[in-house]
Amino acid sequence: MHDHAHDHHDLPPAAGIHPLIARLETEFGWPRLHSRHDVAEFTTRPGAHCLFIPGDARRNLETADAAVILPELRIAFQHAFDCAVVDDAIEAELREETRALKTPGFLFYRDGQFLGSIEKVRDWGDYLSRTTLILQRPLETPAA
**From CA 71, how far away is CA 50, in angstroms rounded?**
11
Q: Residue 106 half-sphere exposure, CB side, CA atoms within 13 Å? A: 27
Strand partners, 32: 85
Give the domain 16-136 fold: Glutaredoxin (3.40.30)
| 51-92 pLDDT per residue, tens | 999 998 888 989 999 999 999 999 999 999 999 999 999 999
Smallest Cα–Cα separation from 68: which of 115, 121, 130, 17?
A: 121
| The three-state (H, E, C) secondary structure of 37-60, written as one string | HHHHHHHCCCCEEEEEECCCCCCC
Question: In this predicted structure, what is the pLDDT of residue 68?
Answer: 96
Angle at 96 between CA 124 and CA 115, to 5 degrees: 50
**From CA 42, how far away is CA 39, in angstroms rounded?**
5
| 43-53 pLDDT per residue, tens | 999 999 999 99
With a cut of 70, say whether residue 24 has pLDDT above it: yes
**Mean pLDDT, to the nearest integer, of 10-35?**
84
* Radius of gyration of the CA atoms of the chain, in A: 14
pTM as predicted? 0.86
Count of other CB atoms within 10 angstroms of residue 87: 20
Smallest Cα–Cα separation from 139: which of 106, 105, 122, 116?
A: 116
Instruction: Report which secondary-structure segment, H or E, holds 127.
Output: helix 124-136
Asked if residues 28 and 2 have their Cβ atoms less than 8 Å apart, the reply is no
